[in-house]
Amino acid sequence: MEHMQNAALGVNGSQPFHPGAMVVLTLSNPREKFWGAVLSMAPEGLCLRGIELASFEDLLNLLKDGEAFTSGVVFFPMHRVERMELDLPDGAIPSLSQRFAAKTGMDPAQLLAAPSGVSSGGQD
C-alpha cells in the first residue's frame, strides 16, 4: 500500500496531481464525484480515467466476479472542477485505492494507467 501512497505523491512530492495520480474529483453543475487516475491537466480542463464514485462498489463486485470492464476516459472543463484531492488514507480509514486493491488484488493505478483501460478482472 505504501507504493500507492508514494505514487500519488509523485517522485519528489512537489507535483502531487501528476499524470497517474489517483484522485477523487468533485464537480459542480451538476454535482458529481469521480474516482480515477489523472491523465492530464491543463488550464482548459482535466482528463481522467475512472468511474463515477457512486459506481465504485459495483465495480469492485464486477471485478471480484471476474467480469471485464472498460474504464471511462472523460474530460472535465476546469470551470466544473470544484475540488480535487489525492486518494489517500485518512488515519485508519483506507483510501479507495487501498479498498480496490484489497478486494480485487489489482493495483488501480496500474490498471487505470493502462493504455486501453480494459481489464479481464485478472481471471484469465
pLDDT digit string (tens) for 84-115? 999 999 999 999 999 999 998 889 988 887 66
Average pLDDT, integer, range 5-33: 79
15: left (phi over 0), alpha (psi -120 to 50) or beta: beta
Q: Give pTM, 2 decimals.
A: 0.80
Report the distance separating Cα 54 and Cα 41, nearest Å.
Answer: 23
Give the sign of the dihedral formed by CA 8, CA 10, CA 15, CA 18.
negative
Please, what is the Cα angle at 81 between 47 and 40, to 5 degrees? 20
Query: How is residue 29 annotated by DSSP?
Result: T
For the cut 90, the answer to whether the pLDDT of residue 8 exceeds it is no
Give tens-digit pLDDT for 32-81: 999 999 999 999 999 999 999 999 999 999 888 888 878 889 999 999 99
Q: Does residue 10 surpass a pLDDT of 70? A: no
- Name the nearest CA neighbour of 51 among 41, 62, 37, 63: 37
Instruction: Say how far residue 124 (Cα) sits from the centre of its chain.
Output: 23
Say what the pLDDT of residue 14 is: 73
* pLDDT at position 70: 80
pLDDT for 116: 54
Instruction: Say whether pLDDT at 7 is over 50.
Output: no
Give the mean pLDDT of 4-23.
69
Q: Which domains are seen in the chain, by residue range?
A: 2-105 (2.30.30.100)
